[in-house]
C-alpha cells in the first residue's frame, strides 16, 4: 500500500461477453481467456487467478457488462451465466475489490477532460458519459434504433450478419445523434468491434486504445467516493468508502 492508503499494485479485469482480459499495474502484456454464457463469477475468479500467476497485486478492479451499484452487481450480465449478484468477490480474490460497469471503466481510461461520451461496440453496445469528472453509466443499448435496439443492431451478431461494410455504415450513422443528444465535446469509440468504423470518423470522434480499460481500472482506485468491497471478520463482504474529495463522483 502507498502512504495515502491506495494500493500500489492493482489487477484490472475487463469482463466481456466473449473474452476476459486482465493486466496488473507495472506489466505490459495483457492476458486473456474466453468467456461466454457458461462463465460464472466463481469460474471467472478461478481462471483469472490462474492467468495472473506470477503477477503481484494488492487490489482488484473489475469491469462487468452489467449494472453495478455501490455494493456490487445489481443485474445479471446478459451474455454470461447467472450468479453475479451477491457473489463475494473480495473473499474470492482475498483482497479489496472495486467494481464498475465495463463501459464506465473503459470510459474512465479514455477521459481527457470536458464532456465525453463513450460507446463500446462489442457483444452489445456499452455506453458511459463523463462530464466534469462525474462518471455516469448509461444503458443506450436498450434504446430503439432502426429495426431493433442499439445492442441488437450494432452488436457482434449484427456484424456477423451484415458484414463489415453494411455494419460500418450503420455504426457511423448511430454516432452523431448520440453525440448531439448528450452535448458531448467528443466521443470515444471502443470495444472489440471498434476497429471496424475506422475510416471517415465523424468530427470530434476518435478510437479508443485497447489498453484504456486497464488504465480505467487503475484510475478507479484514485477516486475517493467509489466503495470498496472488502472482507471483514471472515467471509462477509462489506462496502467501504473513503470520504469524497470533491474532484470525482461515480453515479
Q: What is the CATH number of the domain that holds 71?
A: 3.30.420.40
Residue 173, beta-bridge partner list: none
In a domain, 99, yes or no: yes
* Residue 114 CB burial class (10 angstroms; 0-12, 13-18, ≥19): exposed
Whether 245 is covered by a domain: the verdict is: yes
Q: Where are the alpha helices (DSSP H) in the chain?
A: 41-51, 89-93, 102-110, 150-154, 156-162, 164-181, 212-219
Q: Are both 129 and 197 inside the same structural domain?
A: yes
What residue numbers bound the domain in which 169 lies? Answer: 112-207
Mean pLDDT value across residues 174-201: 83
- Cell numbers placing 12: 484490472
Q: Rg of the chain's alpha carbons, rounded to an integer?
A: 18
Q: What angle do CA 139, 11, 16 make, to 5 degrees?
A: 35
CA 21, CA 77: separation in Å to the nearest integer?
16
Cβ pair 146, 155 in contact under 8 A = no
Rounded CA separation 210/191 (Å): 8
Let me know whether 57 and 15 are in one domain.
Answer: yes
> Is there a single domain that holds both residue 32 and residue 95?
yes
Q: Are residues 117 and 143 in the same domain?
A: yes
Task: Find the angle CA(38)-CA(95)-CA(61) to the nearest 5 degrees.
Answer: 60
What's the whole-number mean pLDDT along residues 169-177? 89
Question: How far from chain centre, in Å, is Cα 63?
Answer: 4
27 domain-assigned:
yes
Between 13-17, 76-80, 187-191, 245-249, the lowest mean confidence (pLDDT) is in 245-249
The H helix count followed by the E strand count for the chain is: 7, 17
Whether 154 is covered by a domain: the verdict is: yes
Q: Is residue 225 part of a domain?
A: yes
Indicate if 21 and 100 belong to the same structural domain. yes
> 3-state class of 190 per DSSP?
strand
- Helix, coil or strand: residue 142: helix
Q: Bigger pLDDT: 10 or 222?
A: 10
Q: Is 3 a domain residue?
A: no
Domain membership flag for residue 192: yes
* β partners of residue 136: 129
pLDDT digits (tens, 9 = 90+) for 10-29: 999 999 888 999 999 999 99
216 plus 99 within the same structural domain: yes
Unique residue bearing C-alpha cell 484514485:
222
Domain shared by 147 and 226, yes or no:
no
DSSP at 220: G
Do 183 and 124 belong together in one domain?
yes
Do 34 and 89 lie in one domain? The reply is yes
Q: Are residues 67 and 125 both part of a single domain?
A: no
Residue 146 shares a structural domain with residue 200: yes
**Lowest-confidence pick of 30-34, 70-74, 77-81, 211-215:** 70-74
Residues 32 and 72 in one domain: yes
**Facing residues of 134 across strands?**
131, 249
Please state the domain count of the chain: 2
CB atoms within 10 A of CB 61: 29
> Is the predicted pLDDT of residue 1 greater than 60, yes or no?
no
Mean pLDDT across the stretch 79-108?
94
84 belongs to a structural domain: yes
Amino acid at each position: 500500500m502507498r502512504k495515502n492508503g491506495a494500493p500500489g499494485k492493482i489487477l484490472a479485469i475487463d469482463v466481456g461477453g466473449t473474452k476476459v482480459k486482465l493486466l496488473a499495474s507495472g506489466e505490459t502484456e495483457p492476458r486473456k481467456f474466453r468467456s461466454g454464457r457458461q462463465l460464472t463469477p466463481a469460474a471467472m475468479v478461478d481462471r483469472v487467478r490462474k492467468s495472473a500467476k506470477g503477477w503481484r497485486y494488492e487490489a482488484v478492479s473489475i469491469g462487468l457488462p452489467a449494472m453495478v451499484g455501490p455494493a456490487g452487481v445489481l443485474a445479471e450480465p446478459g451474455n454470461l451465466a447467472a450468479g453475479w449478484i451477491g457473489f463475494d468477490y473480495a473473499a474470492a480474490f482475498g483482497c479489496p475489490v472495486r467494481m464498475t460497469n465495463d463501459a464506465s471503466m473503459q470510459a474512465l481510461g479514455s477521459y481527457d477532460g470536458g464532456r465525453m461520451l463513450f460507446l463500446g461496440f462489442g457483444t452489445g453496445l456499452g455506453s458511459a458519459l463523463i462530464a466534469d469528472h462525474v462518471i455516469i453509466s448509461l444503458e443506450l443499448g436498450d434504446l430503439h434504433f432502426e429495426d431493433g435496439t442499439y445492442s441488437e443492431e450494432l452488436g457482434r451478431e449484427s456484424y456477423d450478419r451484415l458484414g463489415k461494410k453494411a455494419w460500418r455504415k450503420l455504426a457511423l450513422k448511430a454516432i452523431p445523434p448520440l453525440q448531439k443528444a448528450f452535448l458531448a465535446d467528443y466521443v470515444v469509440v471502443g470495444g472489440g468491434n471498434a476497429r471496424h468504423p475506422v475510416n471517415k470518423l465523424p468530427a470530434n470522434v476518435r478510437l479508443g486504445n485497447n489498453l484504456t480499460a486497464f488504465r480505467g481500472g487503475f484510475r478507479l482506485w484514485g477516486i475517493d467516493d467509489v466503495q470498496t468491497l472488502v472482507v471483514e471478520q471472515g467471509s462477509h463482504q462489506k462496502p467501504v468508502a473513503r470520504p469524497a474529495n470533491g474532484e470525482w463522483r461515480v453515479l
